[in-house]
């Protein structure tokens, strides 16, 4: 899987700006640089990330399912560290 195209990186930046509700001291060019760095780092460590998953999940899950698992996990970790509103679950709504 290639590093995200610039248009996709721009989408990540726009979405970050939409959903971030905390005050920040960084500016848009710094956010763009951060996204480019994350995109490059994820690409460089793709094998390591894939190896986090045990068999048989690793071979049975699609790339999309693995990406979703990682994204949800990172959001849950941030939520557990006090970042409320990042990952509201059915359990939070009493379901």
* Tokens representing residue 86 in the block: 């990042």
In contact, 15 and 71? CB cutoff 8 Å? no
In contact, 46 and 70? CB cutoff 8 Å? no
Tens of pLDDT along 29-72?
999 999 999 999 999 999 999 999 999 999 999 999 999 999 88
The CB density around residue 12, as the number of other CB atoms within 10 Å, is 17
The dihedral built from the CA positions of residue 49, 53, 58 and 64, taken in this order, carries a sign that is negative
Distance CA 67, CA 95 (A): 25
The pTM for the full model equals 0.72
């Amino acid at each position: 899987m290639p590093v995200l195209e610039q248009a996709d990186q721009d989408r990540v930046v726009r979405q970050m700006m939409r959903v971030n509700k905390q005050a920040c001291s960084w500016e848009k060019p710094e956010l763009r640089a951060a996204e480019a760095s994350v995109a490059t780092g994820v690409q460089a460590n793709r094998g390591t990330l894939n190896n986090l998953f045990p068999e048989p999940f690793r071979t049975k899950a699609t790339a999309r399912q693995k990406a979703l698992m990682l994204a949800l996990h990172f959001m849950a970790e941030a939520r557990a560290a006090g970042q409320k509103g990042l990952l509201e679950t059915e359990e939070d709504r009493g379901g």
